[in-house]
Amino acid sequence: MHNAIYNAYFGFAENPFNISPDPEFLYRSPQHEEALANLIYGVRSRKGFIVLTGEVGTGKTTMLECLRDYLDSQRVEFAFIFNSRLTPEQFFEMMAFDFDLQCNRKSKTDVLFALNTLLLKQADRGRTCVLIVDEAHNLEWDVLEEVRLLGNLENRQGKLLQIILAGQPELDRKLDAPNLRQLKQRIVLRCSLDPLTPEECAAYVASRLARAGLPNQKVFSPELLEEVYKRSRGIPRLINLLCDNLLVTVFAMEQRIATIPMLDEVCRDLRLEWPGSLRDRRSRARYAASEEPLPEAPLSLSGD
Ligand SMILES: Nc1ncnc2c1ncn2[C@@H]1O[C@H](COP(=O)(O)OP(=O)(O)OP(=O)(O)O)[C@@H](O)[C@H]1O
Ligand SMILES: [Mg+2]
Q: Where are the domains of the chain?
A: 30-193, 197-287
Q: Do 30-193 and 197-287 fold alike per CATH? A: no
- Residue 130 gets the label, from left (phi > 0), alpha (psi -120 to 50) or beta, of beta
Residues 6+ apart with CB under 8 A from 124: none
Using most ligand atoms within 8 A of CB, pick from 191, 207, 237, 243 the residue to mutate for ligand 1. Answer: 237
Nearest atom (ligand 1) to Cα of 56: 25
pLDDT value, residue 262: 98
What global pTM score does this model have?
A: 0.90
pLDDT value, residue 51: 97
Q: Which CATH class is domain 30-193?
A: alpha beta
For the Cβ of 211 lying below 6 angstroms from any atom of ligand 1, the answer is no
Architecture in CATH for domain 197-287: Orthogonal Bundle (1.10)
pLDDT value, residue 143: 95
Q: What is the Cα–Cα distance from 25 to 62, expressed in whole angstroms?
A: 9
pLDDT tens string, the chain, 304 residues long: the values are 456 789 999 999 999 999 899 999 999 999 999 999 999 999 999 878 999 999 999 999 999 999 999 999 999 999 999 988 999 999 999 999 999 999 999 999 999 999 999 999 999 999 999 999 999 999 999 999 999 999 989 888 789 999 999 999 999 999 998 888 888 888 989 999 999 999 999 999 999 999 999 999 999 999 999 999 999 999 999 999 999 999 999 999 999 999 999 999 999 999 999 988 876 665 555 545 444 454 445 565 544 4
Range list of β-strands (E), the chain: 49-54, 77-81, 129-133, 154-155, 158-159, 161-167, 187-193
Q: Compute the residue count for the chain.
A: 304
